[in-house]
Chains A and B, each alone.
Chain A
Amino acid sequence: MNSETSLIMVFISLAIVNNLVLIKFLGICPYLGVSRRVDMAFGMGCAVTFVMTISGTVTWLVNNLVLQKIGMGYLKYIAFIMVIASMVQLVEMYVRKFFPSLYESFGIFLPLITTNCAILGTCLFIDLWEFTFLQAVVASFGGGLGFTLVICMMGGIREHLEWADVPRALKGAGITLITAGIMTLAFMGFSGMI
């Protein structure tokens, strides 16, 4: 397989077939918490995609060019989380300076991207699957896009669920989880693609 096809495969794999939210169960908290409206979900998806692409790239560089070279691989979790935290801090400063209204509407959810397991999870899976540098960049971007896709779909469904007659005990998280389960079944249809 030549390198372009392998890059496309990695992209499709991370974005759809091995979707972070639905198949790997990463980033469930924002998936349940921020998916009430489509526009909020989309903003969140963009922020996560941005942070994920940068931190996936930077953690690959740190891990392969520094930590593995000096034989301190056991420090990688601490290094990864430091990189992610500083990237989020950077994005936060940038958004606050140039898009103050967007900053207001995100509120607490922007700093909480640090603790979004989808981002750390992507960095860990890239390390686990031993991707090359280009594959790592494509994989982290694809993972972010897949997250955006799924959280926007959930936002759309939940806007309609507002008007549905849901049993009282299942209101809120219960029905959202069951909806997510059915969505997962639909996404399993893609599993033969690769």
Chain B
Amino acid sequence: MSAEENIKLKPAGAPEALTHFVRGLWQENAIFRQMLGMCPVLAVTAQLQPALTMGAATTFVLVCSNVVVSLMRNLLQGHLRILMFTLTIATFVTIADLLLQAFLPDMSEALGAYVPLIIVNCLIIGRAEACGSRKPVTTSLCDALGMGIGFTFGLCVLACVREILADGALWGHQIMPDAFVCWNVMKLPAGAFITLGILLGLSNHFFKKK
């Protein structure tokens, strides 16, 4: 089975992986195009630093679980596959959580329950279902990398807007003049919803071809 697949897929393997990688960056961007994994997008983007950490953690879990799912794709079957995806993801999230606690304790504190919540990020299960369980390892790896970077990019854009407006700062450094009045609402949940709504509207307005 796998030998036959290798013969069939090897010539087209590299370009296919590349298209999958590029597609995840913008064309099928998780946040602005597919609207997947919204909970962390809203919850951790009050500042740039936790947003970037969250993006990195999600990308790590996404890449690892997509590769593992791709490796065992011939063993998966029927309705049990979703359970297998979830367990694989939960394992890697536990690893990511322990790593964060060990090396970035203050970030781990700031993100709190949202790190274990990566388990139920629909983006990761979605990629496992759409790509990991169908495509060979290289394609799955590139696809996960592209999606992860696209997701991190979306998180960072939202976090930049919110941190500049809420604190007049970026990555903790003040960048706005002293006369700037901070928009406190941007720090609150309301600011998260409204900023994301407006950013989605802008991306639809400027980039969607009719």
Contacts and interface: CB of A to CB of B under 8 A. Distances in A.
Interface of A: 22-29, 32, 74-75, 77-78, 81-82, 85, 111, 114-117, 120-121, 124-125, 128, 167-170, 173-178, 180-182, 184-185, 188
Contact of A120 (B94, B120, B185): B120
B83 A22 contact: no
A120 B200 contact: no
Most buried by B among A24, A77, A82, A173: A77
A180 B193 contact: yes
A82 B189 contact: no
B194 interface: yes
B202 A117 contact: no
Size range of the chain B interface in the assembly: 35 or more
Contacts of A25: 38-39, 42-43, 189, 192
Given A174-B197, A181-B193, A181-B194, A115 B39 contact: no
Contacts of A175: 197
Contacts of A116: 120
A22 B120 CA distance: 18
A78 B188 contact: no
A177 B205 contact: no
Nearest to B205: A169
16 contacts: A25-B38, A25-B42, A75-B94, A117-B39, A117-B117, A117-B121, A125-B113, A128-B113, A169-B205, A177-B196, A177-B197, A178-B197, A178-B198, A181-B191, A185-B190, A188-B190
B116 A124 contact: yes
B101 to A, nearest CB: 10
Most buried by A among B36, B121, B189: B189
B87 A169 contact: no
A32 B197 CA distance: 12
Given A120-B120, A178-B194, A128 B202 contact: no
B62 to A, nearest CB: 15
What is the interface of chain A mostly: helix, strand, loop, or mixed? Answer: helix
A180 B193 CA distance: 6
Nearest to B185: A185
B176 interface: no
A162 to B, nearest CB: 18
A180 B200 CA distance: 14
A43 B119 CA distance: 25
A48 to B, nearest CB: 13
A37 B194 CA distance: 22
B35 interface: yes
Nearest to A19: B189
B120 A181 contact: no
Contact of B94 (A22, A74, A167, A188): A74
Contacts of B90: 77-78, 81
